[in-house]
Amino acid sequence: MSRFLDRVETALQDEELKGALGRATDRLASRRSASLDSLEDSDMIRDMARRAKMGLLTDLAGNLETFEKNLINNGVQVHWAEDGKAANRIVVEIAKARDCKRAVKSKSMATEETHLNHDLLEAGLEVLETDLGEYIVQLAGTTPSHIILPIIHMTKESIGEVMHRKIHVPYTSDPEKLAKIARAKLREAFLSADIGITGANFGVIDSGAVVLVSNEGNARLVTTLPRVHVVLMGIEKLVPNLDDLDLMIKILGRSATGQKITTYTSIVPGPRREGETDGCEEMHVILLDNGRSRILGGPIAEILGCIRCGACLNACPVYKNIGGHAYGDTYPGPVGAIVTPGIRGIKGWKSLPDASSLCGACRDVCPVRLDIPRMLLELRKHAVEEADVPWTLRAGLWGFGMIASRPWLYRTAARLGGIAARLMAPDGWIKKLPGLAGGWTRSRDMKAPAPKSFQRMFRDRHV
Amino acid sequence: MSDARLAILSKVRQAQIRAYIPEAKSGLPARLAYPALDPGALRFRLLEEFALLGVEAFVEASEADVRRRLSGLIDGKSVLSWDPDHLPYGAGDCLTGAKTVFGSDSRDEQGQAEIGLTGCENAIAETGTLAVTSGPGRPRAASLMPITHVVLIRASDILLGMGEYFRKTRETADRGNVPLPYVVFITGPSRTADIELSLTLGVHGPGRVIAILGP
């Protein structure tokens, strides 16, 4: 618990983070609203997208079997992984069996979740992230802090510094020059890579195809140049058919960056075919569970409809202040506060659902209308039931319950408490409460109770 | 491997019985409808979106005008092109004399090309998107590797929405009982905003997209 609070404290002290993050999230949020406003029937499209995602979950097992069958028909090799370690092992095995040495990746949250890079490096492969932001994250040796903008927390000066230090190019803070340097460096890597690794934005069940979106075009290069292509995707990332994909594409770009559509949307239905001169020769899809089946079996199943647009991050007053790293794992923001305890288990992550004021901004912006506050409350309940609640809290709540259920006792306690509180607050504000109650006043003052209690007022008027 | 498959499917099957999945709103249409627009309106909309995206567009009245425009753009530069028989408007004629490579040439030679030349299956007016399929003679690299992408669009290939492209493709695939083609939807030049949200073009794909709309 304190670890989360420590991370929050660190984030709040970070002036660079606060500046970069605040500016970026505000701009993204306003672009999102403008872009959705310009989409005719956007409310209906969101309802339809929600219907497609929720409908899919009611028979996820059957849908997975159909997807698998259609992938195989298209010449794709399908693998299943129960957890992250297993998924990484499969990627390593594929690479070794095909004598692949150099891997290029396009941005994938699933591979961040399984810490794939670590296991690939350990197995002796070279791995290069090719999304500009992820490339810089990799150079800097940190982790991404936003679902779609991995280096939202960095300024252009610190990015220039990292590139200067790590790849020995002259220092510049000009974004255009930095991007040009990265293009040249990464193009070399693409041409010599023998295995490309991606996630999937969607898997189209009835077509046996994987859909990838990117603005830079790196996902296209990753799936066009290397001879082997491996897709690592969560078992929930499906849509039933192309009509539903039409809906998803309409809302994904708009919700993420305010673009009507992301620059590149590739639909990859298997490896290259007879007579083609590019595209991978071999394509693998790894279907990853890693806790998702457990999520499905409980009250937060709805979160499996998330399309990872990041809109809830940009709208969240908590995320805007503490940034992505404070959430401590792959998925930050409101969605992360649900997904992380979901896939990793509530133990060790029970502070995350508390990192919300339940203001509901996330629910308002969610393109598939996920009821995020409801799920956060479910997780808080779960945390209390499952995780270790300190005995002081248990005792306190038991005591409160005892007093509150006996009106005469409550009245007496309230009167005595009120007198004591007013004694501590000559100017109407209590600066410091004694004992356990001190936790409340450590970071804020408390208003002294009114001289006349509600109970007393009620009785004076009506009894 | 198949152990993991069985384990996951059985866990999912048990979970989906217990799952709390909220009811969807009722009374929604099965899929989106696209109104039929006349070709002039479609082209107008497409050009509007191109302008917003920074796609340079030329509208030409005849096949000969298309070829003249294309020759002017190539102007001695090296080209990575689709095979001539896959290009509309006899555009392959513009490649004679120019330094041209095709899908069958080496990757290094492809990497040197300054212009990528392709046709497209459809153009999607409501978002200014090109639906570029690939196959024999139509390499993916042509619309991807060179810094400039020149695309030829036939007036009759303009659709309003992506959903229409999907329906058409699905029907063709089902009728012939064949898998879907590989397709990339290209909307403007390659871009990134990763560095402090400042827009930078051409970070991996083409930084310039030039569309020639023919008859």
**pLDDT tens per residue, range B92-103:** 999 987 699 999
The model's pTM: 0.91
What does the pLDDT read at residue B90?
96
The whole-angstrom distance between A80's CA and the closest CA on chain B is: 5
Domain ends where: A344, A363, A388?
Answer: A388
Do A118 and A232 fall within a single domain? yes
A370 and A427 belong to one structural domain: no
Q: How confident is the model at residue A254 (pLDDT cuts 50, 70, 90)?
A: very high
- For residue A80, list its beta bridge partners: A287
Q: Are residues A12 and A77 in the same domain?
A: no
Contacts of B104 in chain A (CB under 8 A): 277
Mark which of A388, A409, A425 sits at the end of a domain. Answer: A388
Mean pLDDT of A258-281: 96
How do residues A404-427 score in pLDDT, each as one tens digit?
999 899 989 888 888 888 888 888
pLDDT digits (tens, 9 = 90+) for A21-47: 888 899 999 999 999 988 989 999 999
Please give the average per-residue pLDDT across A61-89, as a whole number. Answer: 98
State yes or no: pLDDT of A387 exceeds 70. no
pLDDT for res A282: 97
- How much of chain A, in percent, has pLDDT values that exceed 90? 74
In a domain, A295, yes or no: no
Taking CB atoms and an 8 Å limit, are A44 and B28 in contact across chains? Answer: yes
d(CA A351, CA A357): 13
Widest pairwise Cα distance in chain B = 69
The helix (H) or strand (E) run that includes residue A184 is helix A175-192
Bridge partners, residue A282, by sequence: A228
* Residue A301 covered by a domain: no
Cα gap A83→B35, rounded to integer Å: 46
Q: Measured between CB atoms, which of B12, B139, B191 is closest to A235?
A: B12
pLDDT tens profile A334-362? 999 999 999 999 888 988 999 999 999 99
Q: Are residues A158 and A202 in the same domain?
A: yes
Check whether residue A80 and residue A168 sit in a common domain: yes
Instruction: Say whether both A358 and A271 belong to one domain.
Output: no
Residues of B in contact with A260 (CB under 8 A): 49, 126-128, 187
Average pLDDT over residues A175-184: 92
A348 and A210 in one domain?
no
A15 in contact with B, Cβ within 8 Å: no
- Return the H-helix or E-strand segment holding A228: strand A228-234
Whether residue A267 and residue B182 make contact (CB cut-off 8 A), yes or no, is: yes
Residues of chain A positioned with their CB less than 8 A from the CB of B202? 179, 183
Task: Give the helix, strand, coil percentages of chain A, each rounded to 5.
Answer: 55, 10, 30
Best mutation target among B12, B14, B160 (most A Cβ atoms within 10 Å) is B12
Angle subtended by helix axes A42-58 and A60-73, to nearest 10: 90
Residues of chain A found within 8 Å of residue B21, distances taken between Cβ atoms: 54, 57-58, 301-302
Residues A233 and A68: beta-carbon distance below 8 Å: no
Q: How far is A461 from chain B (nearest CA, A)?
A: 46
In chain B, the domains with their CATH numbers are 53-190 (3.40.50.10420)
Among A388, A404, A419, the domain boundary falls at: A388
A297 located within any domain: no
CB-CB: which of B144, B185, B186 is closest to A224? B144
Confidence band for B48, pLDDT divided at 50, 70 and 90: very high
Whether residues A76 and A217 share a domain: the answer is yes
Residue A418: give the domain boundaries.
Answer: 391-462
The reply to whether A46 falls in a domain is no
Q: Where do runs of H (alpha helix) occur along A38-140?
A: 42-58, 60-73, 84-97, 109-113, 116-122, 132-140
Query: In this complex, which of B11, B15, B134 lies closest to A276 when CB atoms are compared?
Result: B134
Residue A82 CA to residue A204 CA, distance in Å, equals 21
The reply to whether A349 and A454 lie within a common domain is no
Q: How far is CA B104 from the centre of its chain?
A: 21
What is this model's ipTM? 0.97
CA-based nearest residue in chain A for residue B18: A297
Distance CA(A50)–CA(B24), nearest Å, equals: 7
End-to-end CA distance of chain A: 48
**Strand B129-133, strand B183-186: pairing:** antiparallel
Domain contains A447: yes
Classify residue A269: in a domain, yes or no: yes
Q: Which of B21, B184, B187 is the closest to A266 by Cβ?
A: B184
Nearest in space to A64 (alpha carbons), one of A291, A242, A243, A287: A287
B148 phi and psi angles, rounded to 5 deg? -120, 135
Instruction: Verify whether the Cβ–Cβ distance B184 to A267 is below 8 Å.
Output: yes
The per-residue pLDDT for A123 is 97
Q: Enumerate the residues of chain B whose CB falls inside 8 A of the CB of residue A153.
A: none
Q: Is residue A250 assigned to a domain?
A: yes
Instruction: Reply yes or no on whether the pLDDT at A433 is more than 90.
Output: no
**A380 and A399 share one domain:** no
State the best of B203, B208, B209 to mutate against chain A, taking most chain A CBs within 10 Å.
B203
Residue among A206, A277, A287 with most chain B CBs within 10 A, to mutate: A277
Give me the phi and psi of B31, to 5 degrees please. -155, 170
User: Does position A2 have pLDDT exceeding 80, yes or no?
Assistant: no
pLDDT band at A462; cut points 50, 70, 90:
low
Q: Both A136 and A258 in a single domain?
A: yes
Cα dihedral A104, A106, A107, A111 in deg (nearest 10): -50
**pLDDT of res. B82:** 98
User: Are both A140 and A267 inside the same structural domain?
Assistant: yes
Contact A246 B31 (CB under 8 A): yes
Best residue of A78, A263, A302 to probe chain B, by most B CBs closer than 10 Å: A263
Average of per-residue pLDDT values in chain A: 92
Question: Is the pLDDT reported for residue A204 higher than 90?
Answer: yes
* Backbone phi and psi for residue A83, each to the nearest 5 degrees, phi listed first: -145, 180
d(CA A99, CA A282): 13
**Mean pLDDT confidence for A127-155:** 90
Residues A284-327 have pLDDT tens digits of 999 999 999 999 999 999 999 999 999 999 999 999 999 999 99
CATH of the domain at A176: 3.40.50.10420
**Cα–Cα dist A161/A152, whole Å:** 16
User: Which residues in chain B have their CB less than 8 angstroms from residue A130's CB?
Assistant: 204
Note whether residue A446 is domain-resident: yes
Name the DSSP class of A436: G
In the predicted structure, residue A402 carries a pLDDT above the cut 80: yes
The residue of chain A nearest to residue B161, with distances taken between CA atoms, is A246
Please name the residues in contact with A374: beta carbons below 8 A apart, sequence gap of 6 or more. Answer: none
Which residues of chain B neighbour A58 with C-beta distances below 8 Å?
A: 16, 19, 21
pLDDT tier, A1 (very low <50, low <70, confident <90, very high otherwise) = very low
Q: Structurally, how many domains does chain A consist of?
A: 3
